């Protein structure tokens, strides 16, 4: 993707609850995250006689206090009416319960995302942790990283305020009126079960959540709950859901800078994953584990959390290749998965080399 195809009309703001107006009635708030990716962008939209938010930040006291200060600056005594949540990840859904309780706002979310959030918040069982540990063991992740995960336990519920028991369901293709303008719900799959983006054609603006980011691609990972799933195929297939949008759409992502150049970004993500599929196939001429595949696809030093996420992403590429018949999976005597390129996979490598 040529860098000149992407335009960044704004500079980065601080991740300390800073507020920036990107256009009349749309405010950008940047909140901290305690990860290598140290921020999340959240959006406050004028909504008639009140306001709505898109995503809510991590469910920790620090973020709550920053929200109070931001609301004191923005709301001007008007009510917070709606909470639009793009997906269940705790940096997006984390404060929705608090906002609903504190401000009486209604949460809007797709059903699959609500169900996943509710499930993970309630399921803190040892059996769930054991299933996750076994998944990473079969992927050949080093025992210390698995032990750290087990020691931490099921911690999703520690990163979200109590998730509302009721919600307003969003469906792909829905048209939602916000401040007298129509916003279309566009669903993207792969990163999350039913990720919702919100697009206003009149304003040429889209709140893209994690589905479309400017400089990184969202994590497309195989879940321990669905180890044979094929989320990467779902992600690539639903890139087409955004092709009808205006070329000059201002994309408001959850991470990184707002940008224009949506179609170039869609092309890049498609091509990026195609290249990684070929890279993994080329490395698997001899049997290899998923953990060995991580070192092929991620050529930098990773911490424990990054290794687990990178393993899930490596498995998404492997599972897509398996479903296409380009790779096979067997098991070692100890149950660890082994991956190897098939004859059709070798032909795919040759075809890519000839392009």
Q: Which two tokens stand for residue 185?
A: 């719900």
What's the CATH code of the domain at 284?
1.10.10.10
Query: What percent of the chain is predicted at pLDDT more than 90?
Result: 96
User: Do 288 and 321 belong to one domain?
Assistant: yes
pLDDT, tens digit, 9 for 90 and up, residues 197-228: 999 999 999 999 999 999 999 999 999 999 99
Residue 279 falls within a domain, yes or no?
Answer: yes
User: Based on the domain organization, do 210 and 291 belong to the same domain?
Assistant: no
Residue 247: phi, psi to the nearest 5? -65, -30
Average pLDDT over residues 190-200: 98
Task: State yes or no: pLDDT of 1 exceeds 60.
Answer: no
Residue 147 included in any domain: no
Domain assignment present for residue 166? The answer is yes
pLDDT of residue 241: 98
**Residue 198 included in any domain:** yes
- pLDDT tier for residue 5 given thresholds of 50, 70 and 90: confident
Sheet arrangement for strand 195-200: 175-178, 181-188, 195-200, 205-209, 250-253, 259-260
> 212 with 306, same domain?
no
**Token pair of 116 as six digits:** 């996943």
Average pLDDT of the chain is 96
Whether pLDDT at 3 is above 60? no
DSSP string, 194-241: TEEEEEETTTTEEEEETTS-SSSPPP----TTSTT--HHHHHHHHGGG
Mean pLDDT value of segment 46-56 = 98
Q: pLDDT tens for residues 74-124? A: 999 999 999 999 999 999 999 999 999 999 999 999 999 999 999 999 999
**Number of domains into which the chain is organized:** 2
Domain boundary among 271, 292, 315: 271
Please check whether residue 212 lies inside any domain of the structure: yes
Do 242 and 349 share a domain, yes or no? Answer: no
**For position 187, which CATH number holds?**
3.60.15.10
Same domain membership, residue 346 and residue 213? no
* Same domain (yes/no): 259, 281: no
In this structure, are 189 and 294 located in the same domain? no
Residue 148, domain member (yes or no): no
The predicted model gives 39-48 an average pLDDT of: 98
Shared domain check, 255 and 279: no
Banded pLDDT at 2 (limits 50, 70, 90)? very low
Structural domain including 307 reads: 275-354
The reply to whether 94 falls in a domain is yes
What pLDDT, in 10s, does the model give residues 277-306?
999 999 999 999 999 999 999 988 999 999
Q: Return the half-sphere exposure (C-beta side, CA atoms, 13 A cut-off) of residue 202.
A: 11
Are both 29 and 178 inside the same structural domain?
A: yes
> Where does a domain end: 271, 301, 333?
271
On whether the CB atoms of residues 339 and 138 are closer than 8 A, the answer is no
- Together in a domain, 89 and 107: yes
User: Per the domain annotation, does 65 fall within a domain?
Assistant: yes
Among the candidates 245, 271, 297, a domain finishes at 271
d(CA 125, CA 62): 28
Question: Is the same domain home to 122 and 249?
Answer: yes
Q: Are residues 168 and 249 in the same domain?
A: yes
- Report DSSP letters for 230-280, one per residue: -HHHHHHHHGGGGTTS-TT-EEEESSS--EE-HHHHHHHHHHHHHHHHHHH
């Amino acid at each position: 993707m040529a860098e000149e195809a992407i335009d960044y009309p704004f500079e980065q703001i601080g991740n300390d609850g800073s507020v920036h107006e990107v256009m009349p009635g749309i405010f950008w708030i940047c909140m901290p995250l305690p990860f290598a990716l140290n921020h999340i962008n959240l959006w406050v939209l004028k909504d008639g006689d009140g306001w709505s938010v898109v995503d809510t930040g991590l469910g920790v006291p620090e973020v709550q206090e920053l929200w109070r200060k931001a609301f004191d600056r923005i709301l001007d005594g008007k009510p917070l009416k709606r909470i639009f949540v793009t997906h269940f990840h705790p940096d997006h859904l984390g404060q929705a319960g608090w906002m609903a309780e504190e401000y009486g706002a209604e949460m809007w979310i797709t059903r699959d995302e609500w169900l996943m959030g509710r499930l993970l918040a309630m399921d803190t069982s040892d059996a769930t942790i054991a299933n996750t540990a076994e998944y990473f063991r079969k992927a050949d992740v080093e025992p210390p990283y698995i032990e750290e995960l087990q020691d931490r336990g099921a911690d999703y519920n520690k990163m979200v305020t109590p998730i509302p028991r009721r919600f307003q369901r969003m469906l792909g293709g829905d048209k939602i009126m916000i401040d007298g303008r129509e916003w279309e719900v566009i669903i993207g799959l792969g990163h999350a079960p039913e990720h919702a983006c919100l697009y206003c054609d009149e304003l040429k603006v889209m709140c893209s959540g994690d589905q479309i980011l400017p400089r990184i691609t969202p994590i497309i990972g195989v879940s321990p709950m669905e180890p044979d799933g094929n989320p990467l195929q779902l992600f690539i297939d639903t890139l087409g859901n955004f092709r009808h949008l205006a070329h000059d759409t201002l994309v408001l992502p959850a991470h990184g800078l707002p940008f224009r150049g949506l179609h170039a970004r869609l092309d890049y993500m498609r091509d990026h994953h195609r290249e990684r599929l070929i890279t993994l196939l080329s490395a698997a001429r001899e049997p290899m584990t998923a953990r060995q595949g991580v070192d092929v696809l991620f050529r930098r030093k990773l911490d424990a959390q990054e290794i687990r996420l990178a393993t899930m992403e490596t498995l998404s590429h492997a599972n897509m290749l398996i479903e296409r018949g380009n790779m096979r999976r067997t098991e070692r005597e100890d149950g660890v998965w082994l991956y190897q390129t098939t004859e059709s996979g070798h032909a795919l490598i040759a075809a890519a080399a000839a392009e």
